[in-house]
Amino acid sequence: MDRFRSTASALACLLALADCAPLPQQEAHRQAKSNSEEWLLHDQRFEDNAVLVGTVTKVIDGDTIDVLLSSGPIRVRFSSSDAPERDQRWGSEATAALSSRIAGQQVTLVPVAQDRYDRLVAFVYLQDEDLNAWMVRQGHAWAYREYLEDEWYCSWEANARDARRGLWLPEQAPAYAPWEWRAPKQAFTGYRGETVANCLATAGKRPSQLLASTAPGSLPPPQRPASGCLIKGNISKNGRIYHMPRSASYDSTIIDESKGERWFCTEQQAVAAGWRAPQ
């Protein structure tokens, strides 16, 4: 990993030479050192890496932003965190949470690497707060196992899960890991019983290796109708109820068309056919 950090630091200097000198944020971190292993680790990021300062011009999703540096614009991928994709449950909520936090704000970037999409992978700070960690702590993102740079992220994810924050609420809704959602051949792991120890044990492993690891349980793949209509028309003891994408019961609702259940393209279509919204 040191090779990637060196590459990232060199890239940072090339992008903005003026930003490679020690910054006030770095000095503040040096002065704010505590005996906490967590803070010492974060302080080490500033000690070991060149940093960049810029303004957030756009929030792409829950783990990607556009930043304007003095040398020009750059796209930044958050290190160690992985937010739900925009077509996943909680994807839009994660994006909105990050946008409300940093849109238009000045941020400090601690580079880690450059990914295959030419994005700068970095820890993103708003003043002295690690925003990558904030997203995980609030339940808006996962600890990104394959590219985990900070072991504390496993603990923060566990805390959010135990507290049922963000994507971890409600408890019965399946929480599909973003890296599994993006995979060409989808298979889903049940992460609600995940432990910190298992998260740490799977750090650095590719998605295909994670599926064969000790991660507990499994989930059925989400239904994706050929028609492209995504509203689920379910029939239960409570009547005919439709569920919108990203709603609380959407992922756990399975449509069985042989029983008269249907897919709808619009809410108006569902209501006209005799379905109602959940109460």
Catalytic residue among 45, 89, 119, 145: 119
pLDDT, tens digit (0-9, with 9 covering 90-100), for 129-169: 999 999 999 999 999 999 999 889 999 999 999 999 999 98
What is the token pair recorded at 72? 């020009």
pLDDT, tens digit (0-9, with 9 covering 90-100), for 84-121: 998 888 999 999 999 999 999 999 999 999 999 999 99
Please determine, for residue 80, whether its predicted confidence score (pLDDT) is greater than 70. Answer: yes
pLDDT, tens digit (0-9, with 9 covering 90-100), for 7-52: 454 455 545 444 554 444 444 444 433 445 554 555 566 666 678 9
Which residues share a beta bridge with 52?
Answer: 109
Q: What angle do CA 148, 200, 168 make, to 5 degrees?
A: 85
Instruction: Look at residue 18 in the predicted model and tell me its pLDDT.
Output: 42
Determine contact, residues 126/93, Cβ cutoff 8 Å: no
Catalytic residue among 45, 85, 161, 262: 85
Domain ranges of the chain: 2-211, 231-272
Told to judge if 77 belongs to the known catalytic residues of this protein, a careful annotator would answer yes
DSSP, residue by residue, 171-216: TTS----HHHHSSSS--B--GGG--HHHHHHTTT--HHHHHTTT--
The CATH architecture that domain 2-211 belongs to is Beta Barrel (2.40)
Please tell me the distance from the alpha carbon of residue 67 to that of residue 39, in angstroms, as a whole number.
26
Q: End-to-end alpha-carbon separation of the chain, Å?
A: 51
Catalytic residue among 45, 77, 89, 246: 77
Reported for 186-189, long-range contacts at CB under 8 A and 24+ positions apart, including other chains, are 186/221, 187/211, 187/218, 187/221, 188/218, 188/219, 188/220, 188/221, 188/222, 189/215, 189/216, 189/217, 189/218, 189/219
Instruction: Look at residue 266 in the predicted model and tell me its pLDDT.
Output: 87
- 3-class SS of residue 95: helix
Told to judge if 151 belongs to the known catalytic residues of this protein, a careful annotator would answer no
Determine contact, residues 198/157, Cβ cutoff 8 Å: no
Strands 72-78 and 120-126, how do they pair?
parallel
Determine contact, residues 110/26, Cβ cutoff 8 Å: no
What is the token pair recorded at 65? 């932003």
- % residues pLDDT > 70 (the chain): 72
- Closest to 42 measured CA to CA, from 127, 124, 130: 130
